[in-house]
């Protein structure tokens, strides 16, 4: 595993089957506008403790460069919180999906605050 604050390729959810599972709502969901956080236990073959998917709807955010910016902000916020997440999920592996659900483009501070809230709620649910 690379550095503690990196987000390696093994940590990005790319399996079509797992993505379909997560979007069929087989996992649990926590919402804090404009974000929703879906998670589920799953034992995958990668070395990472968790895999994550970042999603921004093209129906809500029309321009690709705006969607890409939001995904960059989501990745950065998750990357900064990753050491705390990994310290809490020692025993099992998880897949996550972080969805952006607004038509407005949020700033990093707002997104980071919401990601921290969602992760804290995730801790409460798995405890």
> Per-residue b/e over 104-116, b at no fewer than 16 CB within 10 Å?
ebbeeeebbebbe
Domain extents in the chain = 13-126
pLDDT at 100: 96
Share of the chain above pLDDT 90, in %: 56
Question: pTM, whole model, 2 decimals?
Answer: 0.89
Most confident of 9-18, 41-50, 64-73, 89-98: 64-73
CATH number of 13-126: 3.30.230.10
Q: Rounded to whole angstroms, how far apart are CA atoms 7 and 23?
A: 22
d(CA 76, CA 79): 5
Report the 10 Å Cβ neighbour count for 93: 15
Q: What is the mean pLDDT of the chain?
A: 89
> With bands split at pLDDT 50, 70 and 90, how would you rate the model's confidence at 109?
very high
Residue 3's pLDDT band, with cuts at 50, 70 and 90, is low
In this prediction, residue 90 carries a pLDDT of 73
pLDDT band at 2 (very low <50, low <70, confident <90, very high): low
Instruction: Determine the average pLDDT of the residues in 51-66.
Output: 94
Give the DSSP H or E segment for 70.
helix 64-88
């Amino acid at each position: 595993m690379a550095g503690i604050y990196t987000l390696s390729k093994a940590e990005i959810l790319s399996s079509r089957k797992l993505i379909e599972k997560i979007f069929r709502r087989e996992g649990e969901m926590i919402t804090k506008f404009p974000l929703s956080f879906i998670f589920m236990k799953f034992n995958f073959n990668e070395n990472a403790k968790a895999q994550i998917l970042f999603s921004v709807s093209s129906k809500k955010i029309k321009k690709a460069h705006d969607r890409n910016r939001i995904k960059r902000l989501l990745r950065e916020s998750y990357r900064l919180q990753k050491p705390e997440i990994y310290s809490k999920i020692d025993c099992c592996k998880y897949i996550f999906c972080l969805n952006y659900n607004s038509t407005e483009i949020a700033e990093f501070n707002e997104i980071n605050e919401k990601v921290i809230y969602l992760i804290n709620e995730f801790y409460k649910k798995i405890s």
